[in-house]
Amino acid sequence: MEKIYIYGIIAVMALLPGITLSQEQPSLRDRAEESYRRYEYAHAAAMYTKLVDRRDPRLEDLERLATCYIQVRDFESAENWYARVVQHESNKPEHLLAYGNVLKANGKYAEAKQQLENYAERTGNREHVALQLAGCDSAVVWLASPTAHKVANESEVNTPLSEFSAYPVGDKVYYAGEPATTSGKTHGWTGHAFLRIYSAQLSASGNLSTPSMVQDGISDLPYHIGPVVAEKEGNTLFATRTHVGKEGELVREQRRRYHTNTLELYTYKKEGAGWLAEPFAHNNAKEYSVGHAALSVDENILYFVSDMPGGLGGTDIWYCERQSDGSWGTPANAGNEVNSSGDEMFPNIGPDGTLYFSSDGFAGMGGLDVFSATGQKGMWSTPENLRYPLNSAGDDFAYITVDENDMGYHGFLSSNRRGGKGGDDIYSFSFERPKIIIILRGTTSDKNTGERLPAASVTLYDGKREIVAKKSSSNEGTFEFTLDRDMDYTVLGQKQGYHADSAKVSTQGISKSDTLEVALLLEPVFKVGDTFELENIYYDFDKHNIRADAAAILDELVRTMRDNPTLKIELSSHTDSRGSHAYNEALSQRRAQSAVDYLVSRGIARDRMIAKGYGETKLVNRCSDGVPCSREEHQANRRTEVTVLAF
């Protein structure tokens, strides 16, 4: 979620290059640091990956690499590298805090809590992480028992950039989005075009299509505009936009200068084919920001977000009452039930008058969580977290209900959760009382002995590898999930000291209540000399590059190595007997080395692995030179194995 709308509604307006120092033939580290300073994180990550591929990498390089992956929102890779950072002998308490936050972003709340506890112990400042610890405890419960809401990405309007804050008006919605092309200035922090207002068609089923930028005098501004809400008849809009004056503060960072500008609220009234803009009476760009408007059901109370004096935190929810002459009265704070010491954002009022808003000041699953409260003006009930899957490990905001009846309800929210199309995406959600019930029952067991494994971490993913639910197996090594119809799932079992196991499950075509079963067999990796096969590692004929399907299998080995930091392995590759002995040995060595190189790129230290190509010297069946064998028999010999060298 862009910083201008999340962590204090301040807009970073222009990036001005400072004086650059030239030197001949800059080193790899110089180039990496320059890319890092320019916020070219993907480019910097590639160079830092090379810098840390050595026996004693610099702590700063590891930290920068982890930060790069956070900035590009690859939290899985960030976790891998922060696991290396906190193992470094010179690690600092803030590294534990950052690692905990990354684990939380990956939905690993129990592990995140452990790192946050470590931070509190080392610093003696438990109060600093008390809210995060409470959020971890709550998230574990919510992930184990998700609500029945269905959340879907509105892919017809979302792009690789950001779209958020859908607001319905009749048969269409307004929302804020970043244009794909730039015809003028760009936002210096992101390099993208400034936000504009879009509209899209709203279908009877609650989905969006046919997006287009709103013109007619709304989108021809030099800086950001959005989000927007509307009165019921659609002829009056309330839009958040960047103040275009020069009152903003000049901020210096890393030899570069930024101008920051505050946000203002404007009303747009329909006049003929265009819109007439009027500033909100209580804007004060020199002192504070105002934005994120919401209207009460009767449209006589205007709620908004501001950091004006008199608030309780960074940004609070405020309100004004409509006067008899149509003007808005003096702003009043919405009170300490809904406002915290953190940031409250994106208020919306539901059809029944319920207040929905986002905050990072109450215990939650991610950065911003969506909460609800009942009441009005400055009197509200204690906020309730909307739980998973409406909330996630990311930022979740701009929740709004569109339609509600006896069968359920649906609406929209915005999120930068993993699996989206861009930075921020618009999601639709629905709640329907289930007509059929599909249960998945499973077991976690030791693959070698068959004994049940209690307290294994079991994660249910959808077809896009987004977390659906997560829990620990019982004392009897069993688990249970409720599934949706017409879905594909992956269920993953993990436990320290074991190599993870996963299985595919599908409810496609199931039309009545049913129970599915799955057995997860986890391979122990704690005994020196043990060898196990990485199944389904395939290479193209006569090639050694890592295919996408092989990378997915190797990623499970990455997790095993990351979660067992004392584990050292030999990663070996084997061929069938076709071809010469010398050629097969060389090919298998290249394949084994490619696999090791892949693990190194994902954060595993090279000195924990040995690549070994055995060619056709360790066949598992009779298919030696000259023996006629089937394709399947030859395939059994083409395998990748892992042998435990130390643990």
Most confident of 1-10, 49-58, 221-230: 49-58
- If one compares 633 and 323, the residue with the highest pLDDT of the two is 323
Whole-number average pLDDT of the chain: 88
pLDDT at residue 315 above 90? yes
- The domain that holds 302 is classified in CATH as 2.115.10.20
Residues 351 and 465 placed together within one structural domain of the fold: no
**Same domain? 344 vs 240:** yes
Q: What integer is the mean pLDDT of 228-256? A: 70
Q: Residue holding tokens 């004693």? A: 56
| 507 alpha-carbon distance from chain centroid | 26
**Candidate from 243-252, 560-569, 637-646 with smallest mean pLDDT:** 243-252
Please give the residue that has the higher pLDDT: either 584 or 538: 584
Last residue of a domain, one of 88, 122, 144: 144
pLDDT of residue 23: 46
DSSP states of 460-492? EEETT--EEEEEE--TTSEEEEEE-TT-EEEEE
> Which value, to the nearest 10 degrees, does the dihedral of the CA atoms of residues 246, 250, 254, 255 take?
70
Cα separation, 4 vs 242, whole angstroms = 10
Same structural domain, 542 and 493:
no
Q: Provide the pLDDT for residue 22.
A: 44
In this structure, are 172 and 253 located in the same domain?
yes
CA neighbor of 414 nearest in space, from 565, 629, 264, 227? 227
pLDDT per residue over 430-478, tens digit each?
Answer: 998 777 899 999 999 999 999 999 999 999 999 888 889 999 999 999 9
The secondary structure of 51-73, three-state, reads HCCCCCCCHHHHHHHHHHHHHCC
Confidence band (pLDDT; 50, 70, 90) for 2?
very low
Query: Could you give the percent of the chain with pLDDT greater than 90?
Result: 67
Distance CA 523, CA 147 (A): 33
**Of the ranges 192-201, 387-396, 499-508, which one carries the lowest mean pLDDT score?**
192-201
Check which CATH number belongs to the domain holding 124 and give it. 1.25.40.10
Domain boundary among 123, 144, 165: 144
What is the per-residue DSSP string for 393-451? SS-EEEEEEEEEETTEEEEEEEE--TT-SSSSEEEEEEEE--SS-EEEEEEEEETTT--
Strand segments (E) across 243-309: 250-253, 256-271, 274-279, 290-295, 301-306
Domain identity same for 462 and 407 = no
Mean pLDDT of 123-134: 95
Given 97, 122, 144, which residue is the final one in a domain? 144
pLDDT tier at 185, thresholds 50, 70, 90: low
Higher pLDDT, 223 or 487: 487
Q: Are 415 and 425 in contact (CB under 8 A)?
A: yes
From 222-226, 403-407, 619-623, the region with the lowest mean pLDDT = 403-407
Query: Do residues 273 and 386 share a domain?
Result: yes
Domain residues for the domain of 469 are 438-524
Over 70: is that where the pLDDT of 259 sits? no
**Better-predicted residue by pLDDT, 11 or 639:** 639
Q: Are residues 156 and 298 in the same domain?
A: yes
In this prediction, residue 132 carries a pLDDT of: 94
**Residue 268's pLDDT is what?**
92
Coil/strand/helix, residue 112: helix
Average pLDDT over residues 470-490: 95
Per-residue confidence band for 636, with pLDDT thresholds at 50, 70 and 90: confident
355 and 302 part of one domain: yes
CA atoms within 13 A on the CB side of 572: 21
Q: Which residue has the tokens 């989905």?
A: 207
Counts of helices then strands in the chain (DSSP H, E): 11, 36
- CATH code where residue 593 lies: 3.30.1330.60
- The DSSP result for 177-230, as a single string, is E--SS-SS-B-TTT-SBPPEEEEEEE-TTS-EEEEEE--TTSS--SS-EEEEEE
Phi, psi torsion values for 376, nearest 5 degrees: -165, 165
Same domain, 102 and 170: no
Mean pLDDT value across residues 139-153 = 94
Answer for the pair 289, 364: CB distance below 8 angstroms, yes or no. Answer: no
- Pair (45, 89) in one structural domain: yes
Distance CA 572, CA 79 (A): 26
Give the chain's domain count: 4
Determine which of 75-79, 535-539, 610-614 has the lowest per-residue pLDDT on average.
535-539
pLDDT of residue 541: 63
Residues 74 and 103 occupy one common structural domain: yes
pLDDT class of 631 with cuts at 50, 70, 90: confident
Pairing state between β 10-16 and 514-524: unpaired
Same domain for 201 and 271? Answer: yes
Cα(514)–Cα(460) distance, rounded to whole angstroms?
18
